Amino acid sequence: MKVQKLFRSLPQDPKGLEPFASWQELSPHFESQVINGCYLLIATIEDRDFDNLLGVFQSREEAMGAFLTLSMEHGWEEVPEVYCVYHAQEQGGKLLAGILTDGQISLYEQTTVEQMVQIMARVHRVVVYSYDVVTYIKDIYPEIDQKVYIIAREIAKKVGKAPELEDIAKVYGMPSESLEDKLKVIQKLLQNPVRTPFGEVELPPFSYPLTECK
């Protein structure tokens, strides 16, 4: 298991932080990196470490779940490893949405969009270009705000504004007419540096915490 948290300054004794201070049976390994002027602290804990708690919990999985819950209460999150790319648009007065996972594109209509949401619920991050597509599913999946990585927002932080997705597609020489095309362009933008009409920018990875450092 890997959990992460942003800090304005790097703690001198990470193991003294909660939740690790309360779980002395674990032996976390810490590593840090600087991104956007913040310190990202990542704690790696071997799954077998949780076997030391089997006198308290009935299984390793139960111990890991309890630790993760406590970690989240203290501002940590599990390091995202599984993601999907999402985009949507209105077509003929109806919603057409799509996701790209593991290189495969799946399309959904208004009547089947809940199936897409069920897949989103199983991934750690939902990658979109702009937030406006989130509004299409916000009513049936309000939790998306806790896991959505917005590329246009990250570009704007670097250069002051974000171009339209179609304009970025032109820079890459990629088509952007269909929903499938747009999903492929967004997927391409997860590779740094990102090329825009305003120049190249280096974006934080999708796994970077969504909260601001404190």
pLDDT digits (tens, 9 = 90+) for 118-171: 999 999 999 999 999 999 999 999 999 989 999 999 999 988 899 999 999 999
In whole angstroms, give the CA distance from residue 130 to residue 207. 17
Q: What is the pTM of this model?
A: 0.86
Contact by Cβ (8 Å): 6, 40: yes
Mean pLDDT of 107-112: 92
- Kindly tell me if the per-residue pLDDT of 186 is higher than 80: yes
Give 73-100 as a DSSP string: HTT-EEPP--EEEEEEEEETTEEEEEEE
- Residue-range domain boundaries for the chain: 2-78, 83-201
Alpha helices for the chain (secondary structure H): 60-73, 113-120, 151-159, 165-172, 179-188
The three-class DSSP label of residue 155 is helix
| Phi and psi at residue 124, to the nearest 5° | -85, -30
Residue pLDDT, tens place only, 12-60: 999 999 999 999 999 999 999 998 788 999 999 999 999 999 989 999 9
Question: Could you give the angle at which helices 165-172 and 179-188 cross, rounded to 10 degrees?
Answer: 70
In whole angstroms, give the CA distance from residue 117 to residue 95. 14
